């Protein structure tokens, strides 16, 4: 079973993501902001990280940059989940090291399909 770290500051959205991924058969670790996500990724063995872009204490972009600089977490695939769908926002997410950029709102089954695809691409499915 793949372990996924979800960083989302809005509790209701995080609960929905956690429920959706749990229903898809994934084990989920939760973080309420980017700083906590970086710490948990360094402490826990995770197969994928889902990051919101706009979070307190450290944005998703900053967290992704930190994770990609750390040899312990550099090879963990990262996917952004964001309501910010402007082309420059998406491009920035990919430039800092994300594998994909999923726009909110998303259908739960689509989230699990994206997650499965990224995990398979990294041999972690």
CATH of the domain at 68: 3.40.50.2300
Cβ-based neighbour number of residue 16 at 10 Å = 17
Q: Is residue 64 part of a domain?
A: yes
Cβ-based neighbour number of residue 101 at 10 Å = 19
Q: What range defines the domain where residue 72 resides?
A: 3-119
Enter the pTM of the model.
0.95
Identify the pLDDT of residue 63.
97
Identify the pLDDT of residue 89.
84
Q: Is residue 19 part of a domain?
A: yes
Q: Is residue 125 part of a domain?
A: no
What does pLDDT average to in each consecutive run of 10 residues of the chain (125 residues)?
A: 96 95 96 97 97 93 96 96 81 91 89 95 88
């Amino acid at each position: 079973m793949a372990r996924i770290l979800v960083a989302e500051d809005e509790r209701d959205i995080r609960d929905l993501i956690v429920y959706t991924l749990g229903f898809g058969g994934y084990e989920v670790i939760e973080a309420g902001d980017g700083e906590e996500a970086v710490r948990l990724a360094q402490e826990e063995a995770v197969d994928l990280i889902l990051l919101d872009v706009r979070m307190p204490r450290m944005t998703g972009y900053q967290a992704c940059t930190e994770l990609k600089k750390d040899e312990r977490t550099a090879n963990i695939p990262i996917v952004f989940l964001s309501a910010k769908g402007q082309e420059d926002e998406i491009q920035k997410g990919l430039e800092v090291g994300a594998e994909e950029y999923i726009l909110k709102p998303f259908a739960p089954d689509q989230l699990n399909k994206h997650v499965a695809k990224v995990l398979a691409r990294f041999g972690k499915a």
